């Protein structure tokens, strides 16, 4: 099977107090729906999909997003991203985001599921301007758990870089090769097959209030979570669970808190198309 080069370019501008998608261009295996507007804040909700059903060896997918000043965008996926067995070339996906002044970007994809012998690399690069905010999630499943397929992929490499035009803020890298380093070891995944990481950039007092509120919520059964602050305005929140549903609930709780406390705006439960 020959891999494909998929691209998705999205540009948003604020018009009449509503964020509008002013430029959209894609090449399969990437595409998106036109924006939905589920709240009263003019926020554009955009769903990305891969009509081919998943990612195969040699696929290179590239998503570019630009938010103009004061834009509000919630980007998500229609379903989980399935990364199939890659006997030959590695598969890759990259997300590049430019957030202009006072823009607000939320990215909540469904989980990435790594099949047996998958070899996959993903990267996220977010450039922040003055007054911009970000809440960005990365959800990972170690295989088709219900089938007993857990940490049987060949390699998974991930990098998240959040920065301004002149300095780095967060650089988070991960390399998993289960055959070389057992995920069950202390300091690794300790056999938790589901993981969620949320990267958050908010005004410092609102970030503190968001984390303070999250600390009061009960921890789901068979899961662990925690956060760390990076400077005044940024933080990382991580969740590890044994099942998919508790991970989903925990991640949505973080997004809901960041929206209501961090942005002082109402949270609208996510609707899948």
Going residue by residue through the chain (273 aa), what tens digit of pLDDT does each one get? Answer: 568 899 999 999 999 999 999 999 999 889 999 999 999 999 999 999 988 889 999 999 999 999 999 999 999 999 999 999 987 789 999 999 999 999 999 999 999 999 999 999 999 999 999 999 999 999 999 999 989 899 999 999 999 999 999 999 999 999 999 988 877 776 678 889 999 999 999 999 999 999 999 999 887 777 899 999 999 999 999 999 999 999 999 999 999 999 999 999 999 988 765
3 state DSSP class of 273? coil
What is the CB neighbour count within 10 angstroms for residue 181? 11
Place of tokens 């938010």: 67
The whole-number pLDDT of residue 28 equals: 87
Could you give the C-alpha distances from 60 to 93, 115, 117, 237, in angstroms and in order?
6, 17, 18, 28
Residue 87, both tokens: 């006997």
The whole-number pLDDT of residue 88 equals: 77
For 224, residues 6+ apart whose C-beta sits below 8 A from its C-beta are: 192, 239, 240
The whole-number pLDDT of residue 265 equals: 96
Flag whether the pTM goes above 0.85: yes
The whole-number pLDDT of residue 81 equals: 94
The whole-number pLDDT of residue 3 equals: 80
Residue 36, both tokens: 């939905």
How far apart (Å, rounded) are the C-alpha atoms in residues 130 and 102? 6
Asked if residues 138 and 159 have their Cβ atoms less than 8 Å apart, the reply is: no
Burial of residue 148, with CB atoms counted within 10 A of its CB: 0-12 exposed, 13-18 middle, 19 or more buried: exposed
Residue 214, both tokens: 């999250």
For 199, residues 6+ apart whose C-beta sits below 8 A from its C-beta are: 126, 134, 135, 136, 137, 138, 160, 162, 170, 172, 234, 236
How far apart (Å, rounded) are the C-alpha atoms in residues 69 and 12? 9
């Amino acid at each position: 099977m020959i891999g494909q080069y998929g691209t998705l370019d999205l540009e948003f501008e604020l018009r009449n107090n509503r964020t509008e998608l002013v430029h959209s261009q894609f090449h399969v295996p990437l595409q998106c729906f036109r924006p939905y507007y589920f709240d009263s804040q003019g926020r554009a909700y955009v769903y990305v999909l891969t009509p081919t059903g998943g990612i195969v060896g040699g696929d290179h997918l590239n998503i570019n997003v630009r938010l103009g000043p004061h834009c509000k965008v919630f980007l998500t996926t229609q379903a989980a991203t399935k990364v199939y067995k890659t006997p030959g070339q590695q598969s890759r996906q990259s997300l590049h985001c430019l957030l202009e002044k006072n823009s607000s970007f939320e990215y909540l994809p469904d989980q990435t599921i790594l099949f047996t012998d998958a070899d996959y690399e993903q990267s996220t690069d977010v450039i922040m301007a003055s007054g911009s905010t970000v809440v960005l999630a990365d959800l990972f499943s170690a295989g088709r758990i219900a089938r007993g397929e857990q940490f049987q992929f060949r390699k998974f490499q991930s990098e998240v870089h959040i920065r301004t035009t002149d300095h780095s803020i967060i650089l988070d890298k991960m390399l998993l090769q289960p055959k070389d380093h057992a995920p069950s070891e202390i300091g690794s995944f300790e056999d938790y097959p589901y993981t969620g990481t949320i990267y958050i950039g908010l005004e410092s007092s609102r970030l503190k209030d968001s984390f303070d509120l999250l600390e009061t919520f009960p921890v789901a059964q068979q899961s662990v979570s925690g956060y760390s602050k990076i400077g005044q305005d940024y933080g990382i929140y991580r969740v590890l669970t044994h099942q998919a549903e508790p991970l989903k609930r925990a991640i949505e709780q973080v997004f809901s808190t960041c929206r209501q406390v961090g942005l002082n705006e109402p949270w609208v439960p996510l609707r899948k198309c």
